[in-house]
Structure 1
Amino acid sequence: MPTRRRRTTVNRTAIAVGVLAATAGLFLAPASAGAAAGPTALPAGQYTLTANYHQFDAVNSALVSTLGTAAVHTVMDNANHDRQALPSSFSPSGLVTGFRFSSGDNSDCRSYPQGITTSRDAVGTTNSGTYDGHQLVLVSWYTRDECGGDHERSRITLVDWDATYPNKYRKILLVEPTGSAATPNFKDIPIHAGGVSWFGDYLYVADTGRGMRVFDMRRILRTNTGGTADQIGRQPNGVYYAHNYAYVLPQIGTITSSTTSGTNLAWSSISLDRVSRSIVMTEYTCQSGCTAYPNRAPRAVRYPFPAGATTFAATTTASQALQLPWYNLNGVASHNGRWWFNSSGQKKLHYWTPSAGPTTYSWVSGGEGISYWEDTANPDLLWTLMEGTGNRNVFAVEQAAYDG
Structure 2
Amino acid sequence: MRRRRLTIAATGALIAALFAVPGAANAAAGPTTLPAGQYTLSANYNQFDAVNAALVSTLGTAPVHTVMDNANHDRTGLPSSFSPAGLETGFRFDSGDNSDCTNFPQGITTSRDAIGTANSGNYDGHQLVVVSWYTKAGCDGAQSRSRITLVDWDATYPNKYRKVLLVEPTGSATTPNFKDIPVHAGGVSWYGDYLYVADTGRGMRVFDMRKILKTNTGGTADQIGRQSSGVYYAHNYAYALPQIGTITAGTTSGTNLAWSTISLDRVSKSIVMTEYTCQSGCTSYPNRAPRAIRYPFASSGTFAASTTASQALQLPWYNLNGVASHNGRWWFASSGQKQLYYWTSATGSATYSWVSGAESISYWEDDVNPDLLWSLTESAGSRNVFAVEQATYDG
Tell me the TM-score normalised to structure 1 length: 0.97
Distance 2:81 2:9 in 1: 12
Pairing partner for 2:21 from 10, 25, 28: 28
Deviation (angstroms), 1:358: 0.7
The SS at the match of 2:10 is helix
What does residue 366 of structure 2 align with? 375
Structure 2 residue 196 is matched with structure 1 residue 204: yes
What does residue 339 of structure 1 align with? 330
Distance 2:159 2:356 in 1: 25
Distance 1:357 1:335 in 2: 15
Pairing partner for 2:352 from 361, 364, 372: 361
Backbone CA RMSD of aligned residues: 0.9
Q: How many residues align?
A: 395
What does residue 7 of structure 1 align with? 4
Is contact 2:9-2:79 (8 Å) kept? Answer: no
1:248-302 deviation per Cα after TM superposition (whole angstroms, max 9, x unaligned): 0000000000000000000000000000000000000000011110000000000
Structure 2 residue 99 is matched with structure 1 residue 107: yes
Query: Residue 68 of structure 1 aligns to which amino acid in structure 2?
Result: G
Runs (5+) with no aligned partner, structure 2: none
Structure 1 stretches of 4+ with a deviation exceeding 6 A read: none
Of all paired residues, the percent bearing the same amino acid is 79
1:2-36 deviation per Cα after TM superposition (whole angstroms, max 9, x unaligned): xx332123316242223345xxxx62133x52233
Distance 1:16 1:247 in 2: 42
Runs (5+) with no aligned partner, structure 1: none
Query: Residue 15 of structure 1 aligns to which amino acid in structure 2?
Result: G
Is contact 2:6-2:91 (8 Å) kept? Answer: no
What does residue 213 of structure 2 align with? 221
Is contact 2:90-2:385 (8 Å) kept? Answer: yes
Query: Residue 319 of structure 2 aligns to which amino acid in structure 1?
Result: N
What does residue 74 of structure 2 align with? 82
What does residue 280 of structure 2 align with? 288
Pairing partner for 1:164 from 156, 163, 179: 156
1:208-266 deviation per Cα after TM superposition (whole angstroms, max 9, x unaligned): 00000000000000000011000000001100001000000000000000000000000
What does residue 313 of structure 1 align with? 304
Distance 1:11 1:381 in 2: 17
What does residue 108 of structure 2 align with? 116
Is contact 1:10-1:96 (8 Å) kept? Answer: no
What does residue 252 of structure 1 align with? 244
Distance 1:311 1:155 in 2: 22
Is contact 2:9-2:80 (8 Å) kept? Answer: no
1:27-69 deviation per Cα after TM superposition (whole angstroms, max 9, x unaligned): 2133x52233000000000000000000000000000000000
Is contact 1:382-1:399 (8 Å) kept? Answer: yes
What does residue 261 of structure 2 align with? 269
Structure 2 residue 14 is matched with structure 1 residue 17: yes
Distance 2:84 2:333 in 1: 14
Distance 1:385 1:310 in 2: 27
1:124-180 deviation per Cα after TM superposition (whole angstroms, max 9, x unaligned): 001000000000000000000011210000000000000110000000000000000
Pairing partner for 1:349 from 330, 340, 344: 340
Pairing partner for 2:385 from 394, 398, 402: 394
Tell me the TM-score normalised to structure 2 length: 0.99
